[in-house]
Amino acid sequence: MAKMVPESEDRHSSGAFDPVAEQYDRWYDSPEGAPIYAAEVSCLLSVFPSTATRWLEVGVGTGRFARALNVKLGIDPSPAMVTVAARRGIRTVRAIGEGLPCRTGAFDGVLMVASLCFISDPVRALEESRRVLCPGGWLLIGHIPADGPWGRAYIEKGKTGHPVYSHARFTTVNQLESLVAAQGFTLRGAASALFWSPEGTPEEPARIEQGIVQGAGFVALPFTAA
Protein backbone atom coordinates (compact mmCIF):
# COMPACT_ATOMS: atom_id res chain seq x y z
CA MET A 1 0.00 0.00 0.00
CA ALA A 2 2.77 2.46 0.89
CA LYS A 3 4.27 4.54 -1.87
CA MET A 4 8.04 4.42 -2.03
CA VAL A 5 9.46 7.88 -1.38
CA PRO A 6 11.70 8.96 -4.28
CA GLU A 7 15.28 9.46 -3.14
CA SER A 8 15.50 13.12 -4.24
CA GLU A 9 12.25 14.04 -2.48
CA ASP A 10 13.22 11.95 0.54
CA ARG A 11 16.35 14.01 1.10
CA HIS A 12 14.48 17.31 0.82
CA SER A 13 11.38 16.40 2.81
CA SER A 14 12.62 14.20 5.62
CA GLY A 15 16.23 15.29 6.06
CA ALA A 16 15.31 18.24 8.25
CA PHE A 17 13.42 16.11 10.76
CA ASP A 18 15.17 12.75 10.90
CA PRO A 19 18.10 13.85 13.12
CA VAL A 20 15.88 15.83 15.52
CA ALA A 21 12.69 13.74 15.71
CA GLU A 22 12.96 12.81 19.39
CA GLN A 23 14.05 16.33 20.39
CA TYR A 24 11.26 17.82 18.29
CA ASP A 25 8.69 15.61 20.00
CA ARG A 26 9.93 16.40 23.52
CA TRP A 27 9.54 20.12 22.80
CA TYR A 28 5.76 19.71 22.97
CA ASP A 29 6.07 18.81 26.66
CA SER A 30 8.50 21.64 27.48
CA PRO A 31 7.54 24.85 29.34
CA GLU A 32 7.76 26.70 26.01
CA GLY A 33 6.10 24.15 23.80
CA ALA A 34 3.26 22.85 25.97
CA PRO A 35 1.16 26.06 26.00
CA ILE A 36 1.71 26.56 22.27
CA TYR A 37 0.60 23.01 21.54
CA ALA A 38 -2.46 23.36 23.80
CA ALA A 39 -3.49 26.60 22.09
CA GLU A 40 -3.08 25.15 18.61
CA VAL A 41 -5.09 22.02 19.46
CA SER A 42 -7.88 24.13 20.99
CA CYS A 43 -7.91 26.34 17.91
CA LEU A 44 -8.19 23.36 15.57
CA LEU A 45 -10.89 21.73 17.69
CA SER A 46 -12.97 24.91 17.62
CA VAL A 47 -13.49 24.52 13.85
CA PHE A 48 -13.11 20.73 13.58
CA PRO A 49 -15.86 19.34 11.33
CA SER A 50 -17.92 16.94 13.44
CA THR A 51 -19.46 15.27 10.39
CA ALA A 52 -16.13 13.97 9.06
CA THR A 53 -15.03 10.62 10.49
CA ARG A 54 -12.49 9.17 8.01
CA TRP A 55 -9.39 11.32 8.40
CA LEU A 56 -5.86 11.33 6.99
CA GLU A 57 -3.13 13.62 8.30
CA VAL A 58 -0.62 14.72 5.67
CA GLY A 59 2.66 15.46 7.42
CA VAL A 60 1.74 13.56 10.58
CA GLY A 61 5.17 14.12 12.14
CA THR A 62 5.33 12.49 15.56
CA GLY A 63 1.56 12.14 15.77
CA ARG A 64 0.84 14.78 18.38
CA PHE A 65 -2.00 16.46 16.50
CA ALA A 66 -3.36 13.23 15.05
CA ARG A 67 -3.77 11.77 18.52
CA ALA A 68 -5.31 14.97 19.93
CA LEU A 69 -7.83 15.17 17.08
CA ASN A 70 -8.51 11.42 16.92
CA VAL A 71 -7.04 11.04 13.44
CA LYS A 72 -6.09 7.39 13.01
CA LEU A 73 -3.95 7.46 9.84
CA GLY A 74 -1.05 9.70 8.84
CA ILE A 75 1.65 9.93 6.20
CA ASP A 76 5.09 11.50 6.47
CA PRO A 77 8.35 11.09 4.51
CA SER A 78 10.51 10.96 7.64
CA PRO A 79 11.16 7.45 8.97
CA ALA A 80 12.20 8.83 12.36
CA MET A 81 9.01 10.88 12.72
CA VAL A 82 6.62 8.09 11.71
CA THR A 83 8.37 5.76 14.16
CA VAL A 84 7.43 8.11 17.00
CA ALA A 85 3.90 8.56 15.64
CA ALA A 86 3.41 4.80 15.48
CA ARG A 87 4.32 4.56 19.17
CA ARG A 88 1.35 6.86 19.80
CA GLY A 89 -0.96 4.40 18.12
CA ILE A 90 -1.22 6.24 14.81
CA ARG A 91 -1.30 4.04 11.75
CA THR A 92 1.52 5.48 9.66
CA VAL A 93 2.71 5.20 6.07
CA ARG A 94 5.99 6.64 4.90
CA ALA A 95 4.98 8.71 1.88
CA ILE A 96 4.96 12.24 0.50
CA GLY A 97 2.05 14.64 0.23
CA GLU A 98 2.58 14.97 -3.52
CA GLY A 99 1.86 11.26 -4.03
CA LEU A 100 -0.63 9.90 -1.51
CA PRO A 101 -0.82 6.08 -1.51
CA CYS A 102 -4.60 6.16 -1.09
CA ARG A 103 -7.55 5.51 -3.36
CA THR A 104 -9.60 8.36 -4.78
CA GLY A 105 -12.38 9.52 -2.47
CA ALA A 106 -11.18 7.42 0.46
CA PHE A 107 -11.54 10.12 3.14
CA ASP A 108 -13.95 12.79 4.26
CA GLY A 109 -11.22 14.74 6.08
CA VAL A 110 -7.57 15.65 5.44
CA LEU A 111 -5.56 17.38 8.15
CA MET A 112 -2.42 19.46 7.57
CA VAL A 113 -0.86 21.20 10.58
CA ALA A 114 2.12 23.42 9.75
CA SER A 115 3.16 20.91 7.11
CA LEU A 116 2.32 22.57 3.79
CA CYS A 117 5.22 25.00 4.28
CA PHE A 118 7.66 22.05 4.29
CA ILE A 119 6.28 20.31 1.19
CA SER A 120 8.34 20.67 -1.99
CA ASP A 121 5.31 21.08 -4.28
CA PRO A 122 2.34 22.41 -2.28
CA VAL A 123 0.12 22.68 -5.37
CA ARG A 124 0.58 19.00 -6.13
CA ALA A 125 0.02 18.11 -2.48
CA LEU A 126 -3.27 20.02 -2.47
CA GLU A 127 -4.32 18.32 -5.71
CA GLU A 128 -3.61 14.97 -4.09
CA SER A 129 -5.54 15.94 -0.95
CA ARG A 130 -8.51 16.87 -3.09
CA ARG A 131 -8.25 13.59 -4.99
CA VAL A 132 -8.42 11.42 -1.87
CA LEU A 133 -11.35 13.40 -0.44
CA CYS A 134 -14.92 12.47 -1.19
CA PRO A 135 -17.15 15.23 -2.65
CA GLY A 136 -17.81 17.77 0.06
CA GLY A 137 -14.92 16.44 2.16
CA TRP A 138 -12.98 18.66 4.53
CA LEU A 139 -9.42 19.97 4.39
CA LEU A 140 -8.39 21.42 7.77
CA ILE A 141 -5.16 23.41 7.70
CA GLY A 142 -3.29 24.65 10.76
CA HIS A 143 -1.30 27.63 9.50
CA ILE A 144 1.51 29.79 10.91
CA PRO A 145 1.14 33.15 9.09
CA ALA A 146 4.38 34.56 7.70
CA ASP A 147 3.39 38.06 8.81
CA GLY A 148 2.44 37.02 12.36
CA PRO A 149 4.83 37.23 15.33
CA TRP A 150 5.60 33.51 15.36
CA GLY A 151 5.99 33.28 11.59
CA ARG A 152 8.41 36.19 11.58
CA ALA A 153 10.41 34.61 14.42
CA TYR A 154 10.62 31.27 12.61
CA ILE A 155 11.65 32.96 9.36
CA GLU A 156 14.48 34.74 11.17
CA LYS A 157 15.59 31.45 12.72
CA GLY A 158 15.59 29.90 9.27
CA LYS A 159 17.86 32.64 7.96
CA THR A 160 20.44 31.72 10.59
CA GLY A 161 20.45 28.05 9.59
CA HIS A 162 17.95 26.55 12.01
CA PRO A 163 17.85 22.78 11.26
CA VAL A 164 14.06 22.78 10.76
CA TYR A 165 12.89 26.30 9.91
CA SER A 166 15.56 26.80 7.25
CA HIS A 167 13.57 24.28 5.17
CA ALA A 168 10.20 26.04 5.57
CA ARG A 169 8.51 28.47 3.19
CA PHE A 170 5.98 30.44 5.22
CA THR A 171 3.08 32.31 3.59
CA THR A 172 0.47 34.80 4.71
CA VAL A 173 -3.13 33.71 5.27
CA ASN A 174 -4.19 35.49 2.06
CA GLN A 175 -1.50 33.71 0.07
CA LEU A 176 -2.50 30.36 1.51
CA GLU A 177 -6.21 30.93 0.94
CA SER A 178 -5.57 31.85 -2.71
CA LEU A 179 -3.38 28.79 -3.21
CA VAL A 180 -5.93 26.41 -1.70
CA ALA A 181 -8.90 28.00 -3.49
CA ALA A 182 -7.12 27.57 -6.83
CA GLN A 183 -7.18 23.81 -6.25
CA GLY A 184 -10.96 23.71 -5.89
CA PHE A 185 -11.49 24.27 -2.16
CA THR A 186 -13.84 26.74 -0.44
CA LEU A 187 -13.04 28.33 2.92
CA ARG A 188 -15.79 27.60 5.47
CA GLY A 189 -14.61 29.44 8.57
CA ALA A 190 -11.54 30.21 10.64
CA ALA A 191 -10.20 30.45 14.17
CA SER A 192 -7.11 32.19 15.53
CA ALA A 193 -4.74 31.60 18.46
CA LEU A 194 -1.26 32.40 19.84
CA PHE A 195 -1.79 36.03 20.78
CA TRP A 196 1.39 36.30 22.83
CA SER A 197 4.77 37.06 21.29
CA PRO A 198 7.62 34.52 21.16
CA GLU A 199 9.32 36.56 23.89
CA GLY A 200 6.16 36.97 25.97
CA THR A 201 4.35 34.99 28.65
CA PRO A 202 1.80 32.41 27.43
CA GLU A 203 -1.88 33.09 28.07
CA GLU A 204 -3.58 30.73 30.50
CA PRO A 205 -6.04 29.60 29.40
CA ALA A 206 -5.19 30.22 25.76
CA ARG A 207 -7.47 32.68 23.99
CA ILE A 208 -9.18 31.35 20.86
CA GLU A 209 -11.01 33.79 18.61
CA GLN A 210 -13.24 32.93 15.70
CA GLY A 211 -12.21 34.36 12.35
CA ILE A 212 -8.85 35.40 10.94
CA VAL A 213 -7.43 37.82 13.49
CA GLN A 214 -4.55 40.09 12.55
CA GLY A 215 -1.51 39.41 14.72
CA ALA A 216 -2.44 35.83 15.59
CA GLY A 217 0.44 33.38 15.50
CA PHE A 218 -1.70 30.42 14.43
CA VAL A 219 -4.84 30.14 12.31
CA ALA A 220 -7.06 27.10 11.73
CA LEU A 221 -8.73 27.10 8.32
CA PRO A 222 -11.41 24.54 7.36
CA PHE A 223 -12.08 24.16 3.62
CA THR A 224 -14.47 21.91 1.71
CA ALA A 225 -13.78 20.20 -1.59
CA ALA A 226 -16.13 20.64 -4.52
> What b-and-e string marks burial along 111-142, b requiring 16 or more CB atoms within 10 Å of the CB?
bbbbbbbbbbebeebbebbbebbeeebbbbbb
pLDDT over 70 percentage in the chain: 93
**pLDDT tens sequence across 13-72:** 556 788 889 999 999 999 999 999 999 999 999 999 999 999 999 999 999 999 999 999
Q: Which amino acid is at 40?
A: E
**Domains, the chain:** 7-96+107-225 (3.40.50.150)
Average pLDDT taken over every residue of the chain? 93
- Look at residue 144 and tell me whether its pLDDT is greater than 90: yes
Segment 77-105 mean pLDDT: 97
What's the chain's length in residues? 226
Measured between alpha carbons, how far is residue 128 from residues 38, 81, 104, 112, 159 in Å? 29, 21, 9, 13, 30
Cα 151 to Cα 46: distance, rounded to the nearest angstrom = 22
State pTM to two decimals.
0.93
* DSSP assignments along 133-188, one per residue: EEEEEEEEEEE--TTSHHHHHHHHHHHTT-TTGGG-----HHHHHHHHHTTTEEE-
